[in-house]
């Protein structure tokens, strides 16, 4: 069995979430520890905030296995592990009003420089978080003509879903964005088939209606591609692929720029993989626009 890892800044939540670390280390755990990992991811973070006995019962394992598991994550004891989880919960639930008082500096130049630096670092961080194998699989699925693609976002992130939809509908047929209010979303779920793809954008202050639509799409047999922040939307518990983006900037609001960069990265991969098929489709589209005086 691999040795327990030494505690790092990530263990305290300063660099990445516990959920992120568990997902990354999943294949390195023993069978018993993997059951603990799945139990934690399946009801994150609530499972880890239970007593050791309750957590062990949930994971169908023993108390000592729970303690070995949190030791593997770099925590000296269960209390330290739970403190880190509580800190994550606090961070995940922060809204603009929570962060706003901390941002006032009174110097415009400092704000501009700080924002520019943070945006560059966040884009680089988002790119690092993409596993090349996952990206290839995502692109392959999004290029499969036998799969329909549904795109969904929240109150702000729907703009990212809409942006991605504009690209996809030019590159391939069968791409649909989930519009209207959530009261009408069942109409879209009705058309989801086994093997279809739901690309969902869900960032902190996660929306329950977005979660429920994603859960419904999975129940219909769709595979979920989740683009989220580094604290992970609850959708991560059942998503096929998770692409985490750093979103913190020196502002009252989180940034959507890394999510937009992720869309651009995936789109570039789709263009490359589709090759001539996409080129022919775009040529046909340009011809139609010209013939019917559309898009001028």
Same domain, yes or no: 68 and 181: no
Residue 98 lies in a domain: no
- Predicted confidence at residue 27, as pLDDT, reads 83
Closest CA to 40 of 6, 75, 91: 75
> Is 60 exceeded by the pLDDT of residue 231?
yes
Q: What residues make up the domain containing 180?
A: 131-291
Please compute the mean of the pLDDT values over residues 200-223 and round it to a whole number. 94
38, 66, 92 — which closes off a domain?
92
- Predicted confidence at residue 219, as pLDDT, reads 96
92, 107, 122 — which closes off a domain?
92
Segment 76-86, tens digit of pLDDT: 999 899 889 88
Residue 125 lies in a domain: no
CATH of the domain at 65: 1.10.10.10
What is the share, in percent, of the chain residues with pLDDT greater than 70? Answer: 88
- Predicted confidence at residue 296, as pLDDT, reads 57
Closest CA to 59 of 121, 180, 261, 67: 67
> Is 60 exceeded by the pLDDT of residue 241?
yes
Same domain, yes or no: 58 and 193: no
Same domain, yes or no: 170 and 251: yes
Instruction: Report the C-alpha gap between 103 and 254 in whole angstroms.
Output: 12
Indicate the number of domains in the chain. Answer: 2
Same domain, yes or no: 162 and 287: yes
Same domain, yes or no: 223 and 287: yes
Q: 162: which 2 tokens?
A: 């809409």
Contact 36, 59 (CB under 8 A): yes
44, 73, 92 — which closes off a domain?
92
Same domain, yes or no: 137 and 195: yes
Instruction: Report the C-alpha gap between 247 and 228 in whole angstroms.
Output: 9
Segment 25-68, tens digit of pLDDT: 888 899 899 899 988 987 788 789 888 998 999 899 999 999 99
What's the whole-number average pLDDT of the chain?
Answer: 87
> Is 70 exceeded by the pLDDT of residue 181?
yes
> Is 90 exceeded by the pLDDT of residue 95?
no
Residue 81: count other Cβ atoms within 10 Å of its Cβ.
22
Residue 179 lies in a domain: yes
- Predicted confidence at residue 71, as pLDDT, reads 94
Same domain, yes or no: 202 and 58: no
Residue 109 confidence class, pLDDT cut points 50, 70, 90: low
Same domain, yes or no: 28 and 84: yes
> Is 70 exceeded by the pLDDT of residue 190?
yes
Contact 144, 244 (CB under 8 A): no
- The whole-model pTM stands at 0.71
Residue 109 lies in a domain: no
Residue 213 lies in a domain: yes
CATH of the domain at 173: 3.40.50.10490
Q: What is the dihedral of CA 121, 127, 129, 133, to 10 degrees?
A: -170
Instruction: Report the C-alpha gap between 231 and 241 in whole angstroms.
Output: 15
* DSSP result, the chain: -PPPPPP-GGGGTSSS-HHHHHHHHGGGS-HHHHHHHHHHHHTTTGGGGS-HHHHHHHHTS-HHHHHHHHHHTT-SSHHHHHHHHHHHHHHHT--HHHHGGGG--S-HHHHHHHHHHHHHHHHHHHHHHS-HHHHHHHHHHHT-TTS-EEEEE-TTTHHHHHHHHHHHHHH-S-EEE--S-GGGHHHHHTT--TT-EEEEEE-SS--HHHHHHHHHHHHTT-EEEEEEETT--GGGGT-SEEEEE----SSSS---HHHHHHHHHHHHHHHHHHTHHHHHHHHHHHHHHHHTT---
Distance set, CA 235 to CA 67, 103, 208 (Å): 26, 30, 10
Residue 268 confidence class, pLDDT cut points 50, 70, 90: very high
Residues making up the chain, counted from first to last: 296
């Amino acid at each position: 069995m691999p040795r327990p890892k030494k505690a790092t800044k990530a263990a305290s939540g300063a660099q990445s979430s516990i959920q992120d670390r568990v997902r990354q280390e999943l294949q390195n755990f023993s069978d018993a520890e993997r059951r603990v990992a799945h139990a934690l991811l399946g009801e994150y973070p609530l499972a880890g905030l239970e007593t050791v006995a309750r957590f062990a019962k949930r994971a169908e394992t023993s108390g000592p296995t729970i303690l070995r598991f949190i030791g593997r994550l770099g925590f000296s004891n269960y209390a330290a592990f739970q403190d880190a989880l509580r800190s994550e919960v606090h961070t995940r639930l922060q809204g603009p009003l929570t962060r706003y008082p901390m941002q006032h500096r009174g110097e415009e130049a400092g704000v501009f420089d700080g924002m520019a630096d943070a945006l560059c670092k966040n884009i680089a961080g988002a790119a690092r978080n993409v596993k090349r194998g996952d990206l290839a699989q995502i692109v392959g699925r999004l290029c499969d003509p036998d799969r329909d693609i549904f795109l969904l976002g929240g109150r702000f992130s729907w703009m990212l879903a809409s942006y991605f939809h504009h690209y996809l509908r030019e590159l391939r047929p069968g791409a649909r964005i989930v519009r209207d209010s959530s009261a009408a979303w069942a109409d879209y779920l009705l058309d989801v088939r086994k093997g279809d793809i739901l690309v969902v954008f869900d960032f902190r202050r996660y929306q329950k209606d977005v979660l429920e639509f994603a859960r419904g799409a999975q129940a219909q047999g769709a595979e979920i591609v989740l683009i989220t922040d580094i604290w992970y939307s609850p959708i991560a518990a059942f998503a096929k692929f998770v692409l985490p983006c750093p979103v913190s900037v020196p502002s009252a609001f989180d940034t959507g720029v890394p999510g937009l960069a992720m869309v651009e990265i995936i789109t570039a991969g789709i263009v490359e993989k589709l090759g001539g098929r996409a080129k022919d489709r775009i040529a046909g589209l340009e011809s139609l626009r010209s013939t019917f005086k559309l898009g001028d």
